[in-house]
């Protein structure tokens, strides 16, 4: 245990390997297997944790591999994960996705391949620029006959001009030599843009985990000692900013096709989070996904703008009338006119005119959003739902202007979920939006009726996203007249009502035509993707122009 104190004393020196300005909490030393289990360090002698930007070190395993004399090599490597590659959770997520594209049927290995790929950049940097003894660390870990391990070690031999069999076990074959040469070029070509080489590296690694019969050939357990980023995201929330990712390849361009930018779906995002060790509910993952998808499209939401009260401006003085309040007398001006004050003769009061106020009061229009979630609609938790995305765009836009939002997800009779009234909590709003029923279709008239028994304090706009199933608003069996309920809601809301509908026959739907004549603005669309454009035009068409009300 004597080495621990010496390592602690060299922590600042390890930080300066990367920059004089790097500040991180000192490494945490774990002295027993139980401590390692609590902290999430399993298998490796070192690991990082992005949650609190911490480096974890196993005292027992460092002693097992006789690594006590390599504090800068090991601590400098772990610091490199925090400040260089990947640096943050978002970059880690992108690398995980790119590796997954190149590793079909090997999803359980994506985080492992990403880990060894990142290690190549960090170790090469420390060896070339800081002249650390990185190869000696691998020599202490020991050689291995595994083909992937030897390919990986041969790459280091080429990067650092080491003699053959310094790290490899025996002479490597031509395929390993060729693959190692390719990877060596990638590491040197993309030292500051490692995302460019991730797909190619994972594609090169892929065959090493299958033999000629398609059965796994490499033993992943051989790598466990050096894996230090497997659960880097543990305890963290899903990362933001990952809705599409550039896929680049210098070697396997034919495999990725002409499409270089891949748009992620909810299932992709969920897989990425799982691979990084993020233990989050599906609702939290889907919430983050749709919020990020919506952010680039946010637009100003409807609001009424009214001028403030007119402002008074001093124009001069006039004779004070004895019948006016005495506090209106301007005594200074009166005594200037005459040292002898005679009320009604020498006293004056200020004369004011009015000018238009430059202040404008905004009166946000609240949003009452009804989203169809019947069996004809996609499940937003497994595939991209443009209904959910459009709802997120419009709801988040509404929140930006101070509006409150009520979201109702509806399917069959008495089958709906709604927010607790009109709220401003974006997470609760998106939690409802990203839910799913997948049942029958029956518009929740009872909710519409209950919400508009009285005139609301602020204007509301009622927006409904659906398909031909919207006719259930008028055709369902209900104790009271459905048409009267819808008409009353429109009148009490005072902010208008819109229906954006994917219709089989827009012109021939008599119920929808009747709705249009009764005051609803009908916006037919041909496919769900059109909802994104609708969400932008919706505000521009109805509210952005002519906002000033006199």
| pLDDT band per the 50, 70, 90 thresholds, residue 548 | very low
Structure tokens at 152: 């990986």
Using one digit for the tens of pLDDT, what is the confidence trace for 72-116? 999 999 999 999 999 899 999 999 999 999 998 888 899 999 999
**Distance between CA atoms of 38 and 550, rounded to whole angstroms?**
66
Q: Is the dihedral of CA 416, 422, 427, 433 positive or negative?
A: positive
Using one digit for the tens of pLDDT, what is the confidence trace for 297-328? 887 776 666 666 667 777 788 888 887 888 88
Is residue 546 predicted with pLDDT exceeding 70? no
363-544 CATH: 3.40.50.410
Q: In this structure, are residues 231 and 274 in contact, taking their beta carbons and an 8 Å threshold?
A: no
pLDDT value, residue 104: 87
Using one digit for the tens of pLDDT, what is the confidence trace for 451-498? 999 999 999 999 999 999 999 999 999 999 999 999 999 999 998 999
Which has more pLDDT, 335 or 300?
335
pTM over 0.75: yes
Using one digit for the tens of pLDDT, what is the confidence trace for 158-195? 999 999 999 999 999 999 999 999 999 999 999 988 89
Is residue 217 predicted with pLDDT exceeding 80? no
pLDDT value, residue 549: 39
Is residue 530 predicted with pLDDT exceeding 60? yes
Give residues with Cβ within 8 angstroms of 438, minimum separation 6.
373, 374, 375, 377, 379, 411
Q: Longest Cα pair distance anywhere in the chain, in angstroms?
A: 118
Q: Percent of the chain scored above 90 by pLDDT?
A: 63
- The CA angle 119-138-196, to the nearest 5 degrees, is 20
Q: In this structure, are residues 58 and 241 in contact, taking their beta carbons and an 8 Å threshold?
A: no
**Distance between CA atoms of 154 and 121, rounded to whole angstroms?**
15
Using one digit for the tens of pLDDT, what is the confidence trace for 26-52? 999 999 999 998 888 878 999 999 989
Calculate the average pLDDT of the chain.
88
Q: What string of DSSP letters covers 270-333?
A: HHHHHHTT----HHHHHHHHHHHHHGGG--PPPEEEEE-PPEEEEEEEEEPPTTS-GGGB-HHH
Q: What string of DSSP letters covers 69-103?
A: T-HHHHHHHHHHHHHTSS-SHHHHHHHHHHHHHH-
b/e map 82-112, b = 16+ CB within 10 Å = bbbbbeebebbbbbbbbbbbbbeebeebbbb
Structure tokens at 2: 């004597």
Q: Which residues pair with 497 in a beta bridge?
A: 462
- The CA angle 151-153-159, to the nearest 5 degrees, is 105
Domain regions of the chain by residue span: 2-83, 89-231+242-275, 311-355, 363-544
């Amino acid at each position: 245990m004597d080495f621990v104190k010496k390592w602690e004393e060299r922590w600042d020196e390890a930080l300066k390997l990367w920059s004089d300005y790097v500040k991180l909490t000192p490494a945490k030393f774990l002295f027993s297997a139980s401590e390692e289990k609590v902290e999430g360090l399993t298998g490796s002698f070192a690991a990082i944790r992005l949650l609190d930007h911490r480096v974890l070190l196993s005292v027992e395993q460092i002693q097992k591999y006789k690594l006590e004399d390599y504090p800068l090599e090991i601590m400098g490597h772990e610091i490199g994960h925090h400040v260089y590659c990947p640096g943050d959770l978002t970059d880690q997520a992108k690398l995980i996705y790119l590796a997954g594209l190149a590793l079909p049927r090997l999803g359980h290995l994506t985080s492992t391949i990403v880990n060894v790929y990142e290690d190549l950049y960090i170790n090469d940097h420390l060896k070339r620029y800081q002249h650390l003894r990185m190869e000696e660390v691998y020599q202490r870990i020991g050689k291995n006959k595994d083909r992937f391990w030897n390919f990986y070690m041969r790459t280091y031999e080429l990067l650092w001009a080491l003699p053959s069999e310094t790290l490899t076990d025996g002479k490597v074959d031509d395929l390993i030599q060729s693959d190692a040469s390719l990877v060596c070029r990638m590491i040197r070509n993309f030292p500051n843009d490692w995302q460019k080489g991730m797909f190619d590296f994972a594609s090169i690694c892929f065959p090493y985990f299958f033999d000629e019969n398609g059965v796994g050939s490499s033993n992943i357990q051989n790598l466990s000692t050096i894996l230090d980023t497997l659960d880097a995201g543990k305890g963290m929330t899903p990362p933001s900013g990952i809705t599409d990712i550039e896929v680049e390849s210098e070697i396997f361009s034919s495999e990725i096709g002409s499409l270089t930018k891949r748009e992620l779906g909810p299932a992709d995002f969920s897989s990425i989070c799982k691979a990084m060790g993020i233990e989050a509910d599906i609702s939290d993952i889907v919430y983050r996904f749709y919020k990020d998808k919506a952010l680039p499209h946010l637009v100003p939401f409807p609001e009424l703008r009214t001028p403030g009260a007119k402002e008074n401006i001093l124009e001069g003085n006039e004779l004070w009338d004895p019948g006016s309040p005495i506090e209106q007398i301007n005594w200074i001006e009166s005594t200037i006119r005459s040292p002898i004050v005679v009320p009604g003769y020498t006293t004056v009061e200020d004369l004011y005119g009015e000018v238009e106020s430059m202040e404008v009061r905004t009166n946000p229009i609240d949003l009452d959003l009804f989203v169809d979630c019947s069996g004809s609609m996609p499940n937003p938790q497994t595939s991209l739902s443009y209904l959910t995305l459009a709802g997120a765009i419009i709801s988040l836009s509404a929140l930006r202007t101070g509006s409150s939002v009520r979201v109702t997800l509806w399917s069959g009779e008495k089958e709906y979920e709604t927010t607790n009234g009109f709220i401003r909590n974006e997470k609760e709003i998106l939690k409802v939006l990203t839910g799913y029923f997948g049942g029958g279709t029956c518009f929740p008239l009872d909710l519409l009726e209950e919400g508009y028994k009285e005139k609301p304090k602020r204007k509301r706009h009622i927006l409904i996203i659906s398909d031909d199933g919207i006719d259930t608003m008028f055709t369902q069996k209900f104790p009271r007249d459905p048409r009267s309920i819808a008409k009353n809601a429109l009148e009490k809301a005072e902010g208008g009502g819109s229906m954006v509908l994917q219709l089989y026959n827009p012109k021939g739907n008599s119920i929808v035509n009747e709705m249009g004549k009764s005051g609803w603005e009908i916006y037919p669309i041909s496919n769900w993707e059109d909802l994104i454009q609708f969400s932008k035009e919706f505000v521009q068409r109805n509210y952005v122009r002519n906002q000033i009300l006199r």
